[in-house]
Amino acid sequence: MPARIIHALVAVALLAAVPAAADEMADQIRKVQAKVAPATVIVSFYIEREDGARAGAHVLGTVVGKDNLVMFSSAAIPSEFALSQFHDFKVKVTDGLDVNAYEAEYLGKDNQAQAAFVRVTDPKTPALPVLVFNEKAKVRVGDPLVSVANLGEPDGFARLLQPVRVVARIDQPVTTYLCTKGLGAPGSPVVTLDGKVVGIVGLVRLNQATNARPKWSVAQVLWPVERFIERLRNPPKGGKSVKQAWVGVHTLTPVTKDLAEYFKLGEGRGVVVGHVIEGSPADKAGLKSEDIILSVDGTAVSGTEGQLVENFINTIRQRDVGEKLTFEVWREGKTRQVAVTLAPAPKGPGEAERYAIEPFGMTVRELVASDRMARELPQDETGVVVLFLKPAGWAADGGLRMGDIIKKVQDRPTPDLKTFRKIFDDEVAQKPKEVVLFVLRGKKDTQLVRIEPRWDADK
């Protein structure tokens, strides 16, 4: 029986024993509340969607540094949205039923650490109590903990303290702890009964089925201090996302027991490289499709079959951009050492430049590496991606679809966003009867889209 399942069964037995000294536990929870609640705040902002609609957000944050530095869950800042779509950051401090809102600056986020940051900039803001995270505190299966959540604005964002117990430890791809239900808001602090702040509420993907037919779900976990402590010491700046290290291999598959036997790897495991992205660190280092990566800097790629790929990916993401790694690679019956220098991950959709064309009811953006990978397009594929279409707008009525890659405007190639803007604006300035677009739809389907502008109707 796997060790972590045994841990979980032990924890279930522990949960059956209700503490005899209930009053003593209540007193401990009140002490935790007195320590934690003053250092928690509400971070509010809104996201302006492509159609102009606004979606407001109120998330629990924790004051973690001098000058009123506040940390909250990076999940609250979805990566598919551009930084320019986030507005009006405020930190709301509660005092009984009173809620005081102060202007704040968004500093950025680190998805690997699951942490985002704002700093209060309003000069009228008092110095807020700082919550110190304990790096040395140990967490064990069966330990009682307290997590924090909050009610909504009508109730003054009142804090909720929720007793939980650790029911399992998960070591792959990183060490986290499963607790009983009700952990609280993602990013909020988790505290021991003696007041040690041991982490935050994090989110992980768990496969609750089989390797062959996985059933993934998102679970709340205790995300220990070690996962985000470096970001506390060195928060991001300028609203940027912290760049993760990238090696440039795609469609990885695990080395199963059968594959290990076939290739005579013995007990060795690893990941099989499906595709090496042209120009990537892996490509420059000489990695090839069908190579098997056995270890990274002498540490074997290990775990169950269902964990191997995520474990390898996490190993890379935990490293620094510019770091040099040595992969042990099996190729054509032999092992060899391959030196790889990690690069920053390519620009994602949320970082891509955009261009909104109001009369046509459309927004386009840069084509980025993840678009090419998702659609299995060559790395030299060019064009701009249709990001948004207004219902019943000129472009939508002409048959354009979201996700189309515009290759040409009026038979003039548009390899990038800058060129597209110039050509499209030049053509539209002449108010033609129709604007003809050549688009790539899906992986190989080339379409001709004819848009008929309603110039007179607009008047």
**pLDDT value at residue 276:** 93
CB under 8 Å to 315, separation ≥6 — which residues? 173, 296, 299, 301
pLDDT recorded at residue 21: 53
Q: What is the pLDDT of residues 290-328, one digit of tens each?
A: 999 999 999 999 888 888 998 999 999 989 999 999 999
What pLDDT score does 376 carry?
86
pLDDT at 6: 32
- Is this prediction's pTM over 0.95? no
pLDDT in tens, 170-200: 887 889 999 998 788 899 999 999 999 999 9
Regarding predicted confidence, which is higher, 14 or 385? 385
* 4 φ/ψ angles, rounded to the nearest 5 degrees: -70, -25
| Averaged pLDDT for residues 78-98 | 91
- With a cut of 80, say whether residue 458 has pLDDT above it: no
- Please give the pLDDT value at position 4: 40
Kindly report the length of the chain: 459
Query: Would you state the structure tokens that stand for residue 26, as one six-digit string?
Result: 């209540």
1 pLDDT exceeds 80? no
Q: Which residue has the higher pLDDT, 209 or 433?
A: 433
| Burial tier of 95 (Cβ tally within 10 Å: 0-12, 13-18, 19+) | exposed
Whether the predicted pLDDT of 2 surpasses 70: no
Across all residues in the chain, what is the average pLDDT? 90
Percent of the chain residues topping a pLDDT of 70: 95
Confidence tier at 339 by pLDDT (50, 70, 90): very high
Segment 92-136, tens digit of pLDDT: 998 877 899 999 999 999 999 999 999 999 999 999 999 999 999
So what's the pLDDT on residue 247?
Answer: 96
Are the CB atoms for 172 and 184 separated by under 8 Å?
A: no
Q: Bridge-partner residues for 55, per DSSP?
A: 47
- In the chain, what are the domains? 1-241 (2.40.10.120), 245-344 (2.30.42.10), 349-458 (2.30.42.60)
Specify the amino acid at residue 80.
Answer: E
Question: For residues 128 and 93, what is the distance between their CA atoms, to the nearest angstrom?
Answer: 9
Beta-bridged to residue 327, according to DSSP, are 296, 338
Helices marked H in 253-338 — which ranges?
257-262, 281-285, 308-317
Which of 317, 332, 300, 149 minimizes the C-alpha distance to 247? 317
The three-state secondary structure class of 5 is: helix
DSSP 242: P
Give pLDDT, residue 216. 84
Report the distance separating Cα 173 and Cα 176, nearest Å: 9
Query: Is residue 169 pLDDT above 70, yes or no?
Result: yes
Q: What is the DSSP letter of 278?
A: T
Check residue 248 and give its pLDDT: 94
CA distances from 64 to 43, 228, 448 (A): 13, 12, 54
155: three-class secondary structure by DSSP: helix
**Strand pairing category for 86-95 and 40-48:** antiparallel
How confident is the model over 20-51, as pLDDT tens digits?
Answer: 455 788 899 999 999 999 999 999 999 999 88
